[in-house]
Structure 1
């Protein structure tokens, strides 16, 4: 892609979530220790984390599900380059379709909306997708503190306090859905800033170099809107990474 084609998309991101290399390595090592034979990634994007699990668990095969064809194509290219093409399948379909799972390991990293409109619905769906004795790794938003009305107005359209729970309430919901929380961790400020900066960086550099491009106005509005929202939820919205064990 050249500058005349329009801004490139997300080439600065390794993971499509606020996740450091160090945290990813620890989580992959912990999840692979159970030697899963099947992995299901809900909202997989280009499947970077899923492929790292396959590298660490050589007996496993994986299915990644997403509705973004561009991300899936990126994932297929990378899987082929890493010699994983025969062990991973990328499906462009809804995660609510039948025929998925159950799997030994289910990944849902910041994609619970693909399974339900609430955390409760998503957790219930995840319980049905994981085998007894398996694991779920859920990356889910939570409120670091209750946002004010002014803060909510500056976030995503229609943002409400009910969109997320506190971390304590989120863990209680996981237990109520039939899980026990094996491991609880949260994205830190550095991970958030690395993610949000990387999310915008490609397009910001392109815009600075191409102010007269036909799509410059739309790109500028999109970038400025997202940055304003990020600056509003920064320090208010958190992301929890919960390793969940299905209760039998």
Structure 2
């Protein structure tokens, strides 16, 4: 699945953008400074999710494939007694998360750890966030990884806790032409539909407290923000030594985006573990 994000700027975005722009002249375009979330997530939906998750008063929050951990930091803001751990393998994103935690006064309540999530011993937690990162929980290829990933999420959450799962699904079966324009080797078997996705969660020992999906507007905002830094950089530096390869990557991503636009969805499932499962 594609990378996933959106939103209004961080408190530290202006500094990040300026630093990245200075470096960009030598090394290439700045990276993802237009995004608050690494996925199609609006401020309104984020506020509703955080309010619902914080209402359960989690003491320990675990974020799988956290990136820069924006949603986790917002939960910690809303639940003053909570402490968080985010794990990811991207050092640059983790560093961004640490800077954001410092700015918000949350550095003593959160840890960003560079490590694999496979077989993690970081649980159990009262709240587990896994948004666009279920593939990080096992070795199987999507979508065959989902049963194992859901079992892992059940292992990592305490009875009475919550899991927020952000997972791709097909709004409808993609056509052969659409699949040919997506990621390499794209297949209709790469994702389930929403009903099948929810059933897999139930089979793994959860009940769905809340089921929702990113809107077309959230996807468009995310995809535009994902490439915005690169497009502005390319427009200002057509003769830069890195422009040809950067332009090729940007054009390929944009082409793929329009192949899955309106076909690929992202579900946000708030899951309650069944006691004893």
**Structures share fold, TM-score greater than 0.5:** yes
Contact 2:68 2:93 in 1 (8 A): yes
Other-structure match for 2:154: 127
Could you tell me how far 1:161 is from its partner in structure 2? 1.1
1:36-115 aligned within 5 A? 36-115=58-137
Other-structure match for 2:25: 4
Q: Which runs of no fewer than 5 residues in structure 2 stay unpaired?
A: 1-19
Q: Distance in 1 between matches of 2:107 and 2:124?
A: 21
- Does residue 244 of the first structure (1) align with residue 265 of the second (2)? no
Q: Distance in 2 between matches of 1:7 and 1:76?
A: 22
Specify the SS of the correspondent of 2:107.
coil
Could you tell me how far 1:98 is from its partner in structure 2? 3.1
Deviations 1:11-69 (A, max 9, x none): 00010010000000000000000100000000111011000000000000000011100
Specify the SS of the correspondent of 1:86.
helix
- Does residue 17 of the first structure (1) align with residue 39 of the second (2)? yes
Q: Distance in 2 between matches of 1:169 and 1:115?
A: 20
Other-structure match for 2:253: 226
Q: Distance in 1 between matches of 2:273 and 2:215?
A: 27
- Does residue 35 of the first structure (1) align with residue 62 of the second (2)? no
Q: RMSD over aligned Cα, in angstroms?
A: 0.9
Contact 2:35 2:222 in 1 (8 A): yes
TM-score (normalizing by structure 2)? 0.88
Other-structure match for 1:179: 206
- Does residue 143 of the first structure (1) align with residue 170 of the second (2)? yes
Q: Distance in 2 between matches of 1:170 and 1:70?
A: 31
Could you tell me how far 1:97 is from its partner in structure 2? 4.1
Contact 2:119 2:137 in 1 (8 A): no
Q: Distance in 2 between matches of 1:98 and 1:109?
A: 17
TM-score (normalizing by structure 1)? 0.98
Q: Distance in 1 between matches of 2:229 and 2:136?
A: 26
Q: Distance in 2 between matches of 1:90 and 1:190?
A: 30
Runs of 4+ off more than 4 Å: none
Number of paired residues? 248
Q: Which runs of no fewer than 5 residues in structure 1 stay unpaired?
A: none
Could you tell me how far 1:222 is from its partner in structure 2? 0.6
Could you tell me how far 1:160 is from its partner in structure 2? 1.0
